[in-house]
Amino acid sequence: DTGVSQDPRHKITKRGQNVTFRCDPISEHNRLYWYRQTLGQGPEFLTYFQNEAQLEKSRLLSDRFSAERPKGSFSTLEIQRTEQGDSAMYLCASSLRGEQFFGPGTRLTVL
Amino acid sequence: AQSVTQPDIHITVSEGASLELRCNYSYGATPYLFWYVQSPGQGLQLLLKYFSGDTLVQGIKGFEAEFKRSQSSFNLRKPSVHWSDAAEYFCAVGADRGSTLGRLYFGRGTQLTVWP
């Protein structure tokens, strides 16, 4: 399968813990995007990379959130000191030009 | 400010009936428009896109959408709905940033229920 993959698919954590998610884009895609989706809402943009450079960050991405794409391939999204409000689906997408292709998402539940 | 409005939160249709899902956008630049579909617990699958040219675009699974610049709309249509079309549908708008798209702005989605 050559689609976008995300790991883990589900994560349950306790408030205050740190979590890290991974996204592997389609291999030749140079752009990678992170979105967050809460129940009953559409995805909201968090950040995106072109190759290893982080080009834009949403104000939704507080200081507790950090994203990296060290070699321009896979990306990680880390949330420090998780809060219950962080519970959401975290979606990753990649593109070469034009449309964005989405992965299956990581569902985070913060207890 | 950029925004997408999907005025219908939930639509119910009978199998075989026609379908139209509404989408209105507000965007300062020339918009690129998309419709995505999401099944429960899954990521988003692209149904169709509009970049330029013919304002009636065809997508997968028998869907089509029409871009109307004067109405700032990009409504999704299907002439005959199948039970497997039950899902959540999202309209999105973006703009060209150099050679590729930047961020997308999504509507809140329309949940489609199909009665047998």
A56 in contact with B, Cβ within 8 Å: yes
Looking at residue B100, its pLDDT comes to: 58
Helix, strand, coil tally for chain B in percent (to 5): 10, 55, 40
Write out the two tokens for A37.
């989706």
Probe site for chain A from B6, B103, B105, B106 (most A CB atoms < 10 A)? B103
B34 in contact with A, Cβ within 8 Å: yes
Q: For residue range A29-86, list pLDDT tens digits in order.
A: 999 999 999 998 999 999 999 999 998 899 888 899 999 999 889 999 999 999 999 9
A4 in contact with B, Cβ within 8 Å: yes
Task: State which residue of chain B sits closest to A29, comparing Cα positions.
Answer: B100
- Mean pLDDT over each residue of chain B, to the nearest integer: 92
Distance CA B61, CA B81 (A): 10
Chain B positions in Cβ-Cβ contact with residue A58 (cut-off 8 Å): 103
The distance of A18 to chain B (nearest Cα, Å) reads: 23
Mean pLDDT of B58-85: 96
Q: For residue range B77-110, list pLDDT tens digits in order.
A: 999 999 999 999 999 998 765 555 688 999 999 9
Looking at residue B72, its pLDDT comes to: 93
Mean pLDDT of B4-18: 97
Probe site for chain B from A9, A58, A100 (most B CB atoms < 10 A)? A100
Write out the two tokens for A99.
């449309």
Interchain CB distance below 8 Å, B101 and A42? no
Neighbour tally for A104: CB within 10 Å: 18
Neighbour tally for A88: CB within 10 Å: 20
Distance CA B23, CA A13 (A): 37
Contact A104, A6 (CB under 8 A): yes
The distance of A102 to chain B (nearest Cα, Å) reads: 6
- pLDDT at A96 > cutoff 90: no
Using alpha carbons, select from B105, B113, B63 the residue that is nearest to residue B88. B113
The distance of A1 to chain B (nearest Cα, Å) reads: 15
Chain A positions in Cβ-Cβ contact with residue B42 (cut-off 8 Å): 104-105
- pLDDT at A10 > cutoff 80: yes
A19 in contact with B, Cβ within 8 Å: no
Looking at residue A4, its pLDDT comes to: 96
Backbone dihedral region of B90: left (phi > 0), alpha (psi from -120 to 50 degrees) or beta? beta
